[in-house]
Amino acid sequence: MTNSLDVEWVRARLPGRRLEYLATTSSTMMDAEALAREGCAGGTVVVAEEQTTGRGRLGRSWHSESGAGLYASIVLRLPLPVSHLPLVTLALGLATVEAIALATGLGCDLRWPNDVLVGNRKCAGILVEAHDDALVAGIGINMNHERFPEPVRDVATSLKLATGRAQSRERLLVALLEAIDRKTALLVEAGTGVILGEFTRASSYVHGRRVMVEDGARRLTGSTEGLDASGFLILRTDDGARALILSGGVRPLEA
Ligand code: BTN
């Protein structure tokens, strides 16, 4: 039996922010999108105890066990062109890693573009969607899960499994929203180079990593060679060509 999120504790630490809490929903992405279309303020966040059809990238689902994870979607209204959307995704990954470190002491890796890893296992993921003049950023963090179902059993972990103790979802939610404010402000004010540099330093996947990439119908293998100015991944394929990965799933290969 898990406790419900202490929403009032969180609201008390985030004065002025609209925080909608739902015991259950299909996906917080849909709830936040509806609020964005109604014209809600930037920073508005929807948090759910469970999602019945949590969504991941590339049409995947997001395992959303009740009370075990942090399932949040945040409406962002940033003065940035839509071409900066990949950079926003990278900034949100950095924010998630920073928040996890602050709230739990755990150091995480980032796998381009949006996977937060402990070792080789995924503990959090980020999904960014554009809706008219707003972005909706969905963040799922596996917090106190003790096990995972197929098909993610062998590739997922939780902060509890990684640290050996239950973690406070409230503390992490506050740290996450504050870190998102900091990283998106950095992107807007300091420009893309700072986020590209931070991501490159924080991720073991950006340089010299043997990977397999599934990008639509393409399946490529090669070694990573950095990020381009838009935040896309540069891959030197095994036949010597240079490929720019715009989206898709990146998986590690043996060196
Ligand atoms: C991914 O790694 O594929 C992205 C996962 C994003 C999951 C979060 S949980 C909160 C929000 N609501 C959803 O349905 N998805 C995102």
Residue with CA at minimum distance from ligand 1 atom 16: 138
pLDDT of res. 215: 81
Average pLDDT over residues 26-39: 98
> Can you tell me which residue has the tokens 């150091």?
107
72 Cβ below 6 A of ligand 1: yes
What whole-number distance in Å separates Cα of residue 52 and Cα of residue 177? 24
7, pLDDT greater than 50: yes
Q: How far is the CA of 139 from the centre of ligand 1 (A)?
A: 5
221 beta partners: 212
How far is the CA of 193 from the CAs of 101, 113, 127, 186, 190, in angstroms?
23, 16, 22, 10, 8
Does this model's pTM top 0.85? My answer is yes
Which ligand 1 atom sits nearest the alpha carbon of residue 69?
A: 9
Q: Is 179 left (phi over 0), alpha (psi -120 to 50) or beta?
A: alpha
DSSP 64: -
What whole-number distance in Å separates Cα of residue 231 and Cα of residue 227? 5
- Percentage of the chain lying above the pLDDT 90 cut: 92
88, pLDDT greater than 60: yes
> Can you tell me which residue has the tokens 């926003």?
88
pLDDT digit string, tens, across residues 65-77: 999 999 999 999 9
112 Cβ below 6 A of ligand 1: no
93 Cβ below 6 A of ligand 1: no
End-to-end alpha carbon distance in the chain: 43
How far is the CA of 244 from the CAs of 20, 25, 127, 249, in angstroms?
38, 37, 20, 13
126 Cβ below 6 A of ligand 1: yes
Which ligand 1 atom sits nearest the alpha carbon of residue 64?
A: 9
pLDDT of res. 255: 63
What whole-number distance in Å separates Cα of residue 227 and Cα of residue 232? 5
> Can you tell me which residue has the tokens 């980032």?
110
Which ligand 1 atom sits nearest the alpha carbon of residue 53?
A: 14
The secondary element (H helix, E strand) that includes residue 251 is: strand 249-252
Which residue type is seen at 221?
Answer: T
Average pLDDT over residues 15-32: 97
Average pLDDT over residues 122-149: 96
Q: Sign (positive/negative) of CA torsion 230, 236, 237, 239?
A: positive
33, pLDDT greater than 50: yes
Chain centroid to Cα 175, Å, comes to: 14
pLDDT of res. 1: 44
What whole-number distance in Å separates Cα of residue 184 and Cα of residue 74? 12
Q: In what order do the strands lie in the sheet with 115-118?
A: 19-25, 45-51, 69-76, 134-142, 121-131, 115-118, 109-111
pLDDT of res. 2: 56
pLDDT of res. 127: 96
32 Cβ below 6 A of ligand 1: no
pLDDT digit string, tens, across residues 152-177: 999 999 999 999 999 999 999 999 99
How far is the CA of 197 from the CAs of 17, 46, 181, in angstroms?
30, 30, 18
Which tokens in the block code for residue 124?
């959090």
